[in-house]
Amino acid sequence: MWDCPRCGRAFAHRNQSHSCAPLGDPEPAFRARVARGAGGVRPGLAAVSRLGPVTVLPEKTRIALQARMSFAAFVPRRHWLGGHLVLARRIDSPRFLRIDTYSPGNVVHTFRLASPADVDDEFVAWLAEAYQVGAQRHLRR
């Protein structure tokens, strides 16, 4: 792991590009969206906490989730929860708004959850798979 000397955030690779913004307490409007539930932040974080050690990185507009590397992010909005999962494979599902392949083992799946009920068994299974990517266990196969 490498720690950025400016912001202190840990990364899997030395000199990894990032916005280098200080982590910490997000803006009040962001906290208010999270407090209202924002369509699944709390159930999503609860599901992730059961997977293993995870660092929750509150940023200005999102909550990033990191094992060894970032594997998911939640972006609370007033009436829904946006975000993405990094998976090692492409999953074609109507629940994903967009899918971008950055490398053979890093496929970003963008989602929007309308309610906490959308954090169902299928979504939690995808979170668990993303956690494995974040821990870089998919590279050991």
Report pLDDT for 105.
Answer: 86
Question: pLDDT band for position 140 (50/70/90)?
Answer: low
Domain assignment present for 127: yes
Choose between 134 and 6: higher pLDDT: 134
Residue with the larger pLDDT of the pair 22 and 135: 135
Please, what is the average pLDDT of the chain?
81
60 is a domain residue? yes
Strands 106-113, 96-103: pairing is: antiparallel
pTM of the predicted protein model: 0.76
- Digit-coded pLDDT (tens) for 61-87: 788 898 988 899 988 887 788 999 999
72 - beta bridge partners?
A: 65, 85
Q: Are 39 and 77 in contact (CB under 8 A)?
A: yes
108: pLDDT strictly greater than 90: yes
In a domain, 134, yes or no: yes
- Cα 118 from Cα 106, distance rounded (Å): 24
Is residue 39 in a domain?
yes
- When divided into structural domains, the chain yields a total of 1
pLDDT at position 47: 85
Q: Which domain holds residue 135?
A: 26-140
> What's the rounded Cα separation, in Å, for the pair 19 and 40?
26
9 in any annotated domain: no
Judged against a pLDDT cut of 60, whether residue 53 lies above it is answered with yes
Determine, yes or no, domain membership for 14. Answer: no
Which one is predicted more confidently, 64 or 123? 123
Q: Which long-range contacts (CB under 8 A, 24 or more apart) does 135-138 make?
A: 135/52, 135/67, 135/68, 135/71, 136/12, 136/67, 136/68, 136/69, 138/88, 138/105
Give 28-47 pLDDT, tens digit per residue. 555 665 655 555 667 777 88
3 CB-side CA count, 13 A: 4
